[in-house]
Amino acid sequence: MRKWMEMLAVLVLLALLASTALTAPRYTITAIGPLAGDTRSSASAISESGRIAGLSFTAGGMIWPQWPPLPDTTLAFVWDRGILTPLLPPTGYQGSWAYVARTINENGLVVGTVAQVDFDRTGEPGWQGHPLLIGKNPVLWNRQGTPTLLPLPAGYMEGSAWAINNRGQVVGWAGNDLGLNAPVEFWMTGIWEAAVLWDKDGKTRVLPGLAGSGPSVAFNINDAGQIIGASSAPDLGVIHAALWDRGKVTDLTPGELVYSDAAGINNQGQVVVNSSSIGAFLWEKGRVTSLGVLENDVWNWAMSINDKGQVVGFSSGPEGAPNGRPFLWERGQMVDLNAAFEDPQDEWRLDWAYSINNRGAIVGVGFRKDANGQEQVTGFLLTPKP
């Protein structure tokens, strides 16, 4: 009898393990963009209803959603059930300007950045051959695509809007250009910045950093008003992932002398963080879970987490290896999204997954072959099959 009980216990355990295993999802793929006249695109974010914010451009190579492709200007757009609608530039911002759309909420509001592209200043140390982005301004587009520049806090010259929640609260950063321009939409050495909240009451608030002052940036905000980003850690001289919640700022980094930043937060307060020590990890009420990497890869970068705890991002091999692979992480298991959709014409090679909604739809950027067989940077939508 005891032997039979032991065998039954083993069978029950195996059944439980099988029930918790992640069934590899399957998707259909849809190209997102570009706008007429352009050849390349990127899909930056997707709302719960399936509207997508993205970028359209001609020149330039692979891009992250926060970095305009260079050398070129970009146009922002919204994709809705197959229809692309350009987002209008603010008055006076036509010409050599890059329009970056980052996040879209359920009311169809889009936030991002408008930045002037200076093609003549290409000799800054470390950025030879790259035009510079100057005069960055946070912008909000309404459902009709009409833009409004968001006000900068007193004492700041430039800024960027990174995310908007369904309550209309916007977060990003503000700063002052101290002479080190660079072709990136990110704060860096030489540009002191502060994390900013543009609240629904119309007020603009500077958020305190981990050290009280010093560089900080806000990357995302959930519907409860919890804000995540990064801030200079006190006495360490490094940047740590940060969470702002009800007036308190919390360091999310396990350890001291490591770099980290928080990229995504869901409505349960789960946060995905990227670090220089253990790579991407999930933070939940002080508990840290490493996401790991795809087989044969060595590092990763998480971008977004939905309310089901599903995470998307990018996994890659060692430096100098070929382009990486987008991943879906769920319950401790990671899936290569390049192997999760049908591609009978061998058109696609996906690279980054940027955003996932609660329906499991994923957007990002990859390479798609054109009519001549040449790969073009193209935004994508992966829709789960029933």
| CATH H-level superfamily of 24-384 | Peptidase/esterase 'gauge' domain (2.130.10.150)
Q: Is the pLDDT of residue 168 over 50?
A: yes
Phi/psi for 16 (5° steps) reads -65, -40
What residue spans of the chain are helical by DSSP H?
2-20
Q: Is the pLDDT of residue 176 over 90?
A: no
**323 DSSP 8-state letter:** P
Q: Is the pLDDT of residue 12 over 50?
A: no
Tell me the β-bridge partners of 332.
Answer: none
Residues near 18 by Cβ (< 8 Å), separated by ≥ 6? none
Q: Which residue has the tokens 């995310």?
A: 163
Q: How far apart are the first and last CA of the chain?
A: 44
Domain boundaries, the chain: 24-384
> Considering only 33-42, 56-65, 71-80, which range has the smallest mean pLDDT?
56-65
Q: Is the pLDDT of residue 290 over 60?
A: yes
Q: DSSP letters along 230-275, please?
A: EEEPTTT-SEEEEEEETTEEEE--SSSS--EEEEEE-TT--EEEEE
The whole-angstrom separation of Cα 120 and Cα 115 is 15
**Nearest residue to 44 (alpha-carbon basis) of 28, 35, 56:** 56
Mean pLDDT of 364-371: 93
